[in-house]
Amino acid sequence: MSPDNNGRATDAMKQDLSEAGSHFKGAAVAAGDALKGAASAAGDEMRLGKAQMKAELADGTLAGISAAENLGSASREQMDVLMDKGRDLVDSAAELIRERPLASFGVAFAAGWLIAKLGRGSSDK
């Protein structure tokens, strides 16, 4: 060690270490602030997502209720269509009976006889 240094190197090293410590402390504070900011932003996003989810669930529920309300009307519409088809079928049968009464009687008699025969056959066993 030269006499003209008189501990200047030690003082410089101490100064450099102190400055490095200050920078590391600043980095740790910045990292903590960044984490706090990220947590806050994540919390905000979670709250926003939760609100959007609730809104979608509410809209879905309202659409389901609306569908249930329309179910009665749709059922009535389908019943009306079936009733109209049934009336058309009865009208067609009535017209056929008027046009060919003897053939209609023969078919009805044969169908009755067949049903009676089937009914007796299953009760004999």
3-class SS of residue 10: helix
In a domain, 2, yes or no: no
Find tokens 């009307």 and name the residue. Answer: 73
Q: For residue range 96-107, what is the model confidence (pLDDT) as tens digits?
A: 888 888 888 888
In a domain, 41, yes or no: yes
Full residue range of the structural domain in which residue 35 is found: 8-123
In a domain, 13, yes or no: yes
In a domain, 109, yes or no: yes
Give the pLDDT of residue 39.
Answer: 87
In a domain, 92, yes or no: yes
Close Cβ partners of 96 (under 8 Å, ≥ 6 residues apart)? 104
Res. 80: pLDDT tops 60: yes
| Distance separating alpha carbons of residues 40 and 33, to the nearest angstrom | 10
How many independent structural domains does the chain possess? 1
Q: For residue range 31-75, what is the model confidence (pLDDT) as tens digits?
A: 888 888 888 888 888 988 889 999 999 999 999 888 888 888 888
In a domain, 75, yes or no: yes
| Distance separating alpha carbons of residues 77 and 71, to the nearest angstrom | 10
Does the global pTM surpass 0.75? Answer: no
Close Cβ partners of 97 (under 8 Å, ≥ 6 residues apart)? 104
